[in-house]
Amino acid sequence: MREVPRADVLVIGGGATGAGVAWDAALRGFDVVLVERGDLAEGTSGRFHGLLHSGGRYVVKDPVAAEECVVENAILRRVIPDCIEDTGGLFVTTPDDDPAYGDRFLEGCRAAHLPAEEIDVAEALRREPRLNPAIRRAFTVPDASIDAWKTVWSFARGASAHGARILTYHRVVALHRTDGAVTGARVRNERTGEELDIEAGFTLNASGAWAAQILHMAGIEDVGVVPGKGIMIAMNHRLVNTVINRCTMPADGDILVPVRTVSIIGTTDIHSADPDQIPVTQAEVDQMLDDGERLVPRFREARALRVWAGVRPLFQDARAGAVGDTRDVSRTHAVIDHRERDGVDGLLTMSGGKLTTLRLMAEDLVDAMCAQLGTERPCHTAEERPPGNEDGEPYHLGSRLGRRERTLQEEQLICECELIGRRRLEEAMRARGSTNLDDFRRLLRLGMGPCQGGFCIYRATGILHGVDRLDGAEASASLRGFLQERWKGVWPILYGDQLRQARLDDWIFQGLLDVEHLPSEQEVAP
Ligand SMILES: Cc1cc2nc3c(=O)[nH]c(=O)nc-3n(C[C@H](O)[C@H](O)[C@H](O)COP(=O)(O)OP(=O)(O)OC[C@H]3O[C@@H](n4cnc5c(N)ncnc54)[C@H](O)[C@@H]3O)c2cc1C
């Protein structure tokens, strides 16, 4: 067993909340260790819809959540501009929606101090020509599109720069308890199988939809997570350049978000018993495509690239009664104080919330910890910019292309869809030291375009082989692992052009490279 590390604060979970908490606590001078069972943002944060909420979605049904979004939307634009594209948003009344809801919507926006304005339908159609011409009302709001991977990595890098240790692929398998207090955790390195004990002054549970599993390790059984599964489909280009919301009570398939070069329709909200078992069904795919038609006619004729599911960390305290529909659970967050609730010291859990409010969630959690520790350390995350955002320049769609054009002839292009050059890929491979090609997908968007890795991933495998000196068998296993992951998101939407693409990819990988029979003793490391 390795040397036992000691930290002031152990953060469990490397999603948006955990990364935000690590950044906040590190900025306040705490010595932090963050543990994540997989890669950063491999949980719900890397499987979300991409929307930086203006708050409009919640103004009628959940005004507290709306007000939080209004404030946090403005702060995140200031502190992590490189992670956000200012697309703006529209709420539109489709022929299936009640036009009178628009008045309640505007009233709610005023109460939440959300700057919304009704515009002529003709103006909305001028701005978004593919929008359903039968819409009856349209309102502008400051919605935006946010890149979760950039956000999480930026906060994690910031935390590291302030001394935090970020341990990916380290799963908490037990919590240590001394005299009724949580004093750290046993973690297992998922790559080597090695176990490690971490002593911590305080443990912050930011494991989202898995939080109840962690609490179970502390003997706390009656805080339940009500996992709300949602599916999303990425269409292969920007059908709209503005976030489009249906102007109605939150429902399924009522938001279309332009994210980089694609647009994403979502989502559903279905109770799921296990956050690790969230399969996509054909009925859900059909429902999503039909919902897309309401906003953009002939939506189904566009090319669907990929479908995936995520699971909302909606909490239900068993002491407060059972939950009905997961849509009725508030989207606000709450710190669960286990000293007060369960008589367990040294442990706090963050419950609920959304990616848009990650900074506020982190602030509330670290404030609650400081209060229990009896120390006053002010929060700086509303002013401090984490790495990658220092120049205050907001992301815009042409950023990557602009950079690429400056070095057009100097560098080999590896991933044409996402414009990733060889140098950037090699640097990332050296810096991360990972043998898992999927880690580089999350980091750089490798293989995320229309060909879903068809043309770039065998090149990237060769480069990984060279850079990391993997042997042939390990490189083959890594390639196969990547292809299997991509396939999961492609097969439920196989129709039209994407079916043709999948056949071509199949010919390349099965026909030319015979990947199924490449020598490989082991499957890819996690
Ligand atoms: C379908 C869908 C769409 C959404 N769309 C939006 C949106 O557009 N805008 C928005 O603001 N919000 C959205 N949300 C909500 C938002 O995505 C989540 O609230 C947010 O990402 C949760 O972040 P988190 O860090 O709390 O959880 P996660 O990102 O899930 O992080 C928790 C981490 O804990 C890790 N973990 C679990 N068990 C262990 C263990 N034993 N040891 C170590 N680590 C462990 C997991 O691997 C995971 O990475 C959406 C949610 C869903 C489901």
Q: Do 405 and 307 have their domain in common?
A: no
In a domain, 454, yes or no: yes
Ligand 1 center to 505 CA (angstroms): 31
Ligand 1 center to 230 CA (angstroms): 12
**Can you tell me the mean pLDDT for 444-460?**
92
In a domain, 342, yes or no: no
Is the pLDDT at 227 greater than 80? The verdict is no
In a domain, 429, yes or no: yes
Q: How confident is the model at residue 400 (pLDDT cuts 50, 70, 90)?
A: confident
Q: What percent of the chain has pLDDT over 70?
A: 95
Ligand 1, residue 230: give the atom nearest the CA: 1
Three-class SS state of 99: coil
**Rounded to an integer, what distance in angstroms lies between the CA atom of residue 468 and that of residue 117?**
54
Q: Do 130 and 243 have their domain in common?
A: yes
Least confident segment among 86-100, 282-296, 395-409, 479-493: 395-409
Q: Do 289 and 404 have their domain in common?
A: no
In a domain, 17, yes or no: no
Q: Do 293 and 407 have their domain in common?
A: no
In a domain, 201, yes or no: no
Question: pLDDT digit string (tens) for 321-356?
Answer: 555 555 555 668 999 999 999 999 999 999 989 999
What pLDDT score does 464 carry?
93
Three-class SS state of 299: helix
CA-closest residue to ligand 1 atom 21 = 45
Ligand 1 center to 443 CA (angstroms): 17
Question: pLDDT digit string (tens) for 102-121?
Answer: 999 999 999 999 999 999 99
CA-closest residue to ligand 1 atom 9 = 51
**Rounded to an integer, what distance in angstroms lies between the CA atom of residue 205 and that of residue 361?**
12
Burial class of residue 319 (count of CB atoms within 10 Å of its CB; 0-12, 13-18, 19+):
exposed
In a domain, 209, yes or no: no
Closest residue by Cα to residue 164 from 7, 364, 349? 7
- Domain tally, the chain: 2
**Rounded to an integer, what distance in angstroms lies between the CA atom of residue 150 and that of residue 129?**
30
Please, what is the average pLDDT of the chain? 92
Q: Of the residues 354, 357, 361, which should be mutated to test ligand 1's pocket, given the most ligand atoms within 8 Å of the CB? A: 354
Is the pLDDT at 62 greater than 60? The verdict is yes
Q: Do 307 and 405 have their domain in common?
A: no
What pLDDT score does 186 carry?
98
**Rounded to an integer, what distance in angstroms lies between the CA atom of residue 31 and that of residue 21?**
12
Q: Do 408 and 511 have their domain in common?
A: yes
What pLDDT score does 320 carry?
59
CA-closest residue to ligand 1 atom 3 = 48
CB-based contacts of 523: which residues, under 8 Å, 6+ apart?
477, 480, 481
Ligand 1 center to 204 CA (angstroms): 15
Q: Of the residues 23, 49, 198, which should be mutated to test ligand 1's pocket, given the most ligand atoms within 8 Å of the CB? A: 49
Q: Do 121 and 243 have their domain in common?
A: yes
The DSSP H or E segment spanning 117 is: strand 117-119
Is the pLDDT at 298 greater than 80? The verdict is yes
Can you say whether residue 98 is alpha, beta or left, with left for phi > 0 and alpha for psi between -120 and 50 degrees? beta
Three-class SS state of 241: coil
**Can you tell me the mean pLDDT for 126-138?**
98
Where a domain ends, among 259, 278, 312? 312
Ligand 1 environment, Cβ below 6 A: 12-18, 35-38, 42-45, 48-51, 53, 171-172, 206-210, 230, 232, 266-267, 310-313, 353-356
What pLDDT score does 271 carry?
84
Residue 480 lies in domain: 399-517
**Can you tell me the mean pLDDT for 189-194?**
95
3-state secondary structure 500-523: HHHHHHHHHHHHHCCHHHCCCCCC
* CB contact at 8 A, 360 and 71: yes
Where a domain ends, among 312, 337, 371? 312
* CB contact at 8 A, 84 and 76: yes
Ligand 1 center to 16 CA (angstroms): 7
Ligand 1, residue 20: give the atom nearest the CA: 25
Ligand 1 center to 97 CA (angstroms): 30
Question: pLDDT digit string (tens) for 76-100?
Answer: 999 999 999 999 999 999 999 999 9
In a domain, 495, yes or no: yes
Q: Do 251 and 126 have their domain in common?
A: yes
Q: How confident is the model at residue 315 (pLDDT cuts 50, 70, 90)?
A: confident
Q: 209-223: buried (b, 16+ CB within 10 Å) or exposed (e) per residue?
A: bbbbebbebbebeeb
Is the pLDDT at 1 greater than 50? The verdict is no
Q: Do 308 and 417 have their domain in common?
A: no
Look at 257 and 450; give whichever has higher pLDDT. Answer: 257
Q: Of the residues 12, 42, 44, 76, which should be mutated to test ligand 1's pocket, given the most ligand atoms within 8 Å of the CB? A: 44
Ligand 1, residue 267: give the atom nearest the CA: 1
In a domain, 25, yes or no: no
CA-closest residue to ligand 1 atom 27 = 208
Ligand 1 center to 207 CA (angstroms): 8
Name the residue type at position 66: A
Q: How confident is the model at residue 399 (pLDDT cuts 50, 70, 90)?
A: confident
Q: Do 121 and 241 have their domain in common?
A: yes
Q: What CATH number did the domain enclosing 266 receive?
A: 3.30.9.10
Ligand 1 center to 182 CA (angstroms): 23
What pLDDT score does 325 carry?
53
Q: Tell me the two tokens of residue 287.
A: 């429902």
Q: Do 247 and 124 have their domain in common?
A: yes
Q: Do 128 and 240 have their domain in common?
A: yes
Ligand 1 center to 423 CA (angstroms): 31
51-52 vs 195-205, strand pairing mode = unpaired
Ligand 1 center to 210 CA (angstroms): 9
Where a domain ends, among 256, 286, 312? 312
Ligand 1, residue 18: give the atom nearest the CA: 25
